[in-house]
A and B are shown apart, each in its own frame.
Chain A
Amino acid sequence: MDEAPIPIRVTVNGAPQEIPPALTIDGLLSRFGLDRRHTAVERNRLLVPRASFEATVVEDGDVLEIVTLVGGG
């Protein structure tokens, strides 16, 4: 019998989140319904280059920042 996968706990933009295991950055962006254009991601204080979104798997305890460009001086 299949068991439901145990979710992992991560922090996204300062807030705790439970997400399915083995999710990639790309999968995470889709889960939150986020546009890839002008979006950048940092994992544990290190930039995740756009080209690595699909290859980077989010792990339990990760601290993620997802940012975009807004009005500023």
Chain B
Amino acid sequence: MTWFSPDEPLREDRPLQIGAHTFGSRLFVGTGKYDDLGVMQQALAESGTECVTVAVRRISLGVPSGKTLLDYLDTDKFVLLPNTAGCFNAEDAIRTARLGREAGMSDLVKLEVLGDTETLLPDPVGTLEAAKVLVDEGFTVLCYTSDDPILARRLEDVGVAAVMPAGAPIGSGQGILNPNNLRIILERARVPILVDAGVGTASDVAVAMELGADGVLLNTGIARAKDPVRMARAMRLACEAGRDAWLAGRMGRKLYATASSPTEGTIGIPGE
């Protein structure tokens, strides 16, 4: 339940632990879609994130390289999380993960195996297959998936370090479309659950965190805001607010009103 039953103990605040990594911030932020890397740098700082996603791509040969993304990322400050974005089968995702580990010098991988280019929804079969191989190869796998509670369980069973259900399709900004599925995943989770994809604005982050998500991963919501730096701050505050609200334990929902002021001692006649 998203609110407390009377016999549930107070929730305990613990730092987020994923594999060998401990994170103070529960926000994971992407580095894609920025027109200006200086703005990205400021947005990342404002978001408070400690872990940023990056993509693995071919170097362009024969093109003199100017400043690149890595000139704007302080790797002492951020843990790099290479992704397998753009992979549509397990084999390509595995190859990309291996390259990403070598390039990023990080054991972390954000595994995504996508079904098709239009929906960018995860291919559950390919995802599970690739997850198994990468776990066996010693990767700390943070696995992008749909919000299917059974698949989430299967991914845990093969040893992923975190399950990352989509709130909505990648880059759609639709928010948490199925909070009930997310609640089922969270209730049964034995590894951290990060909501990945679909976050459009700060309240989406707050909703995910209030439901008890361990963190949120987002990119477009910040990068495509009119003012990415201010939106990054909003996302940070929403993440903290949502986390606090979950820890505090919200009141139950009631259909009818309950007065906050004493009902005794009023000078009028109730209901008239």
Contact = CB atoms under 8 A, between A and B. Distances in A.
Interface residues of A, number: 26
Contacts, number: 106
B99 A71 contact: no
Given A12-B61, A40-B103, A70 B98 contact: no
B82 interface: yes
Interface in B8-62: 30-34, 37, 40, 53-62
Interface string A1-17: 00000000000111100
B32 A50 contact: no
B53 A67 contact: no
A40 B61 contact: no
A40 B143 CA distance: 22
B261 interface: no
Given A38-B70, A70-B69, A73-B83, A45 B58 contact: no
Contacts of A13: 58-61
A73 B220 contact: yes
A72 B31 contact: yes
Given A72-B30, A72-B32, A67 B98 contact: no
Interface residues of B, number: 41
Contacts of A50: 102
A22 B44 CA distance: 44
Given A42-B95, A69-B69, A14 B30 contact: no
B170 interface: yes
Interface of B is mostly: mixed
Contact of B61 (A32, A42, A49, A70): A32
Interface in B172-202: 197
Nearest to A31: B61
B259 to A, nearest CB: 47
A66 B59 CA distance: 6
Give the top 10 A-B pairs by smallest Cβ distance, nearest first: A72-B55, A73-B30, A73-B219, A40-B102, A40-B103, A71-B31, A40-B99, A69-B54, A13-B58, A71-B32
B80 interface: yes
B58 A72 contact: no
B58 A66 contact: yes
A65 B98 CA distance: 12
B266 interface: no
Given A32-B61, A71-B32, A45 B95 contact: yes
A30 interface: no
A39 B95 CA distance: 14
14 contacts: A13-B59, A14-B58, A37-B70, A40-B98, A47-B98, A69-B82, A69-B100, A69-B104, A70-B55, A71-B32, A71-B40, A73-B30, A73-B32, A73-B197
B258 interface: no
Contacts of A73: 30-33, 53, 55, 83, 85, 170-171, 197, 217-220
Contact of B68 (A42, A47, A49, A68): A68
Interface string A41-73: 110010101100000000000000111111111
Interface in B207-239: 217-220
B95 A71 contact: no
